[in-house]
Amino acid sequence: EMAHIDPYRTDVIIGSGLGSQEVVEEHVAGRSDHLLEYGEGIDPTGMLKFFISGPAIGIALMLGCKSYVTTVSSACASGLNSIGLAMQRIQDRRADVVICGGVDTPITRFVWAGLCAARFLTTNNDPVESMCPFDRRRSGGTLGEGAGIFIVESLEHARARGARIYAETAAFNQETENVNELYLMDKSGTRWAELIGRVCAEAGINRLDWINAHGPSDRQLDKLETVALKKALGVLVNGTPVSSIKGAVGAGMASSGAFQAAAGAMSLITGCIPPNYNYREPDPELDLMYVDRPLTGRNLKTILLNARAFGGINASLIMRRITA
């Protein structure tokens, strides 16, 4: 796989927001009275495993990448931001290949307890029914975890090395709302709409075949994304399928955008749009075409991916099918 890739022109840009939280728990569990005592029961490699830069550094070491190596940490937007930065590195001809994506392992007691205290997680105790993006019954998210890693390169470079091409990253942009220390959102959806409109204009699109939504199954955020999409796209959004894969995979923090990109690439190849898992009761305040079952046999050419993170960080990516 790496035989025709120059390690001095190969970047690694990985999104991670939390680092290895399970390593932290392993080190501090039962030791709260001794945290200030250097070395007592502490694995000397523990901090190296905990650094959020660990995944990017590990990939670079494993594959012998000698170029730009960095970590993007923008919470739930990290995965999409990583892909967007990779795209820009290729466009600027600063690299031939960028290994990018997102990874987080948030399913730990500390993260779970913190998000519960902040009321970000669902109050539904049924693990099967708990997450239902855009559904009237939604009450918050559930944690998921994992990783999604991609190779971003120019079309010419990919063809020259005989790579299988899954999709084109056509446009990317990111912006931050004016929020305060409580992370309160812009409830008008104006800033998010401006971002979506800008990325669609950059891609020069006049139609969308699927909106791969952020949709965290949150009472306010699902509504806010609906408002932003309508403001940004106008009549273009009418009849466009909208779904969030989080109902199936959970909220993976930095890996969420990477999950979305993987789902987007596969949908462009297979012509299948995944549904909003558990979507059964429409919310009368949300009036877009929310997908309630898998849509197959679709001629998908262009899709929009949205991500939103704590602190009002919004990211949008346009992906296209490669046809020639």
Whether 203 and 89 share a structural domain: no
pLDDT of residue 244: 98
Say what percent of the chain tops pLDDT 90: 74
Whether 315 and 175 share a structural domain: yes
Whether 126 and 179 share a structural domain: no
301-319: average pLDDT: 95
Whether 210 and 314 share a structural domain: yes
Q: The tokens 């749009």 sit on which residue? A: 273
| End-to-end Cα, the chain, rounded Å | 23
Output the domain CATH number for residue 300.
Answer: 3.40.47.10
pLDDT of residue 126: 87
pLDDT over 70 (residue 32): no
pLDDT over 80 (residue 91): yes
pLDDT over 80 (residue 2): no
Say what percent of the chain tops pLDDT 70: 89
Could you tell me which residues are beta bridge partners of residue 305?
A: 212, 317
Q: How far is CA 192 from CA 13, 22, 64, 73, 170, in A?
A: 25, 33, 39, 20, 19
Model confidence at 31, pLDDT cuts 50, 70, 90, reads low
Whether 195 and 123 share a structural domain: no
Whether 283 and 178 share a structural domain: yes
Whether 107 is in a domain gets the answer yes
Average pLDDT of the chain to the nearest whole number: 90
Whether 266 is in a domain gets the answer yes
pLDDT of residue 41: 60
Model confidence at 311, pLDDT cuts 50, 70, 90, reads confident
CA 278 remoteness from chain centre = 20
Q: Which of 6-15, 46-55, 190-199 has the lowest mean pLDDT?
A: 46-55
Find the angle CA(3)-CA(6)-CA(10) to the nearest 5 degrees. Answer: 115
pLDDT of residue 110: 84
Q: Confirm if 278 and 294 have CB atoms less than 8 A apart.
A: no
Whether 313 and 183 share a structural domain: yes
Whether 173 is in a domain gets the answer yes
Could you tell me which residues are beta bridge partners of residue 13?
A: 70, 100
Q: How far is CA 18 from CA 41, 153, 171, 231, 262, in A?
A: 23, 27, 27, 33, 21
Model confidence at 178, pLDDT cuts 50, 70, 90, reads low
Model confidence at 39, pLDDT cuts 50, 70, 90, reads low
Residue 279: which domain range? 168-320
Whether 104 and 173 share a structural domain: no
φ, ψ for residue 282, nearest 5 deg: -60, 145
Prediction pTM value: 0.92
Whether 102 and 237 share a structural domain: no
19-35: average pLDDT: 64
The per-residue pLDDT for range 229-277, each reduced to its tens digit, is 999 999 999 999 999 999 999 999 999 999 999 999 999 999 999 999 9
Number of structural domains (the chain) is 2
The per-residue pLDDT for range 156-168, each reduced to its tens digit, is 999 999 999 999 9
pLDDT of residue 4: 74
